[in-house]
Amino acid sequence: MFAVRFDRFGPPGVLAVGPSAEPHAGPGEVRIRVRTAGVSPVDLALRAGDSPSRDGLALPHVPGVDAAGVIDEVGAGVAGFTNGDEVFGAVDVARLGGASAEFAVLAFWAAKPSSMPWEEAGAAGTSVETATRALDLLGAGEGTTLLIDGAAGGVGSVAVQLATARGARVIGTARPERHSFLAGLGATPVAYGPGLAGRVRALGLPQVDLALDVAGAGSLEELITVTGGTATVVTLADFTGPERGVRLSRGRYGGEPDGRHGLALAAALSAEGRFRVPVQRVFPAARATEAHAAAARGPRQGKIVIDLAGIRGAG
């Protein structure tokens, strides 16, 4: 098969399309012919050699953890799915990649509804899993008010929609130019940055029950102040959180043992017109270098996606 790959660590220019060993579905897995794959921060860190996992990486390496495509191989023990089904999901984190290829093996997935464009499906997997895990840990749901710091990004925007679907009232922080975007997702927008506690109080809400830190921008003390304690705050990105008594959500892509229930909910909401994955730009496989460069530039509103449909021609 052909894949986007790199044989040395470095800038986006180390990426190239070339031949790669073809993977096969193991027990509890499916293999897909990939249509689209998202570009995630972990992909950038691994390619650059900045991740602690680089020492365990076998080169050449195929990046990518999120993918969508058509099943062409079903592993033992998989029920309810068959060859030809359109699905979206993510690879096993232990593989550290493999999605930006002609074929990829998914560890968790859901049926792709016709309402979900391929570019959104390819970007959804780990964002949905991460957001679902954090919301479960917080207990966000009907009757709760949730503050999400960094709500306009890939995970944050997904968390806004999933929390709203659970019945939570959501306040989301973002730069002023992104406030209309957040409002369209169902959140009450407030400005991002220092002084957050005062701006939230100015909204006049009776209370804010829970807070989720997606940005990792040093807001934990203010989030603790807003919610009244550390037990009501979860961070995905600030590794000083546990030192302050705040829970740090980590594990598989940080923790949830199986992301399928979150993906199934996202698919159902998409079919109802209540969920979308913001996508900033789609690049063909032959321009994967540009895709990684674009993903590294921030701040962004939406994910970068690679279209793998024509990868064999790109090689």
Question: In this predicted model, what pLDDT tens digit does every residue of 91-107 receive, in sequence order?
Answer: 998 888 999 999 999 99
Q: What is the mean pLDDT of residues 162-187?
A: 96
Lowest mean pLDDT across 39-43, 164-168, 281-285: 39-43
pLDDT at 315: 62
Confidence at 256, pLDDT banded by 50, 70, 90: very low
The predicted model scores a pTM of 0.92
Strand blocks (E) in the chain:
2-5, 16-19, 30-39, 66-74, 86-90, 103-106, 108-111, 145-149, 169-174, 188-191, 210-213, 233-235, 247-248, 279-284, 303-307
pLDDT at 310: 86
Q: Which residues contact 82 (CB under 8 A, 6 or more apart)?
A: 71, 74
The mean of the pLDDT values for the chain is 93
pLDDT at 307: 98
- Whether 299 has a pLDDT exceeding 70, the answer reads no
- Whether 298 has a pLDDT exceeding 80, the answer reads no
Which superfamily is assigned to 128-248 in CATH?
NAD(P)-binding Rossmann-like Domain (3.40.50.720)
Residue ranges of domains in the chain: 2-116+277-314, 128-248
The answer to whether residues 10 and 47 touch, using CB atoms and an 8 Å cutoff, is: yes
Q: Which residues contact 254 (CB under 8 A, 6 or more apart)?
A: 130, 133, 236
pLDDT at 95: 86
Q: What is the mean pLDDT of residues 15-33?
A: 97
- Here the contacts of 238-243 (C-beta below 8 Å, separation 24 or greater) are 238/213, 241/213
Phi-psi region of 259 (alpha: psi -120 to 50; beta: other; left: phi over 0): alpha
Q: What is the mean pLDDT of residues 87-94?
A: 92
Confidence at 143, pLDDT banded by 50, 70, 90: very high
Neighbour-count burial for 44-70, b at 16+ CB within 10 Å, e otherwise: bebbbeebeebeebeebbbbbbbbbbe
Confidence at 249, pLDDT banded by 50, 70, 90: confident
Question: In this predicted model, what pLDDT tens digit does every residue of 35-54 receive, in sequence order?
Answer: 999 999 899 999 999 988 88
* Domain spanning 2-116+277-314, CATH architecture: Alpha-Beta Complex (3.90)
Rg (CA), the chain: 19
pLDDT at 54: 87
Q: What is the mean pLDDT of residues 77-98?
A: 94
The answer to whether residues 119 and 282 touch, using CB atoms and an 8 Å cutoff, is: yes
Q: What is the mean pLDDT of residues 160-181?
A: 96
Question: In this predicted model, what pLDDT tens digit does every residue of 102-138 receive, in sequence order?
Answer: 999 999 999 999 999 999 999 999 999 999 999 999 9
Tell which residue, 67, 78, 77, 76, has the closest CA to residue 105: 67
Top-confidence range, 151-155, 232-236, 299-303: 232-236
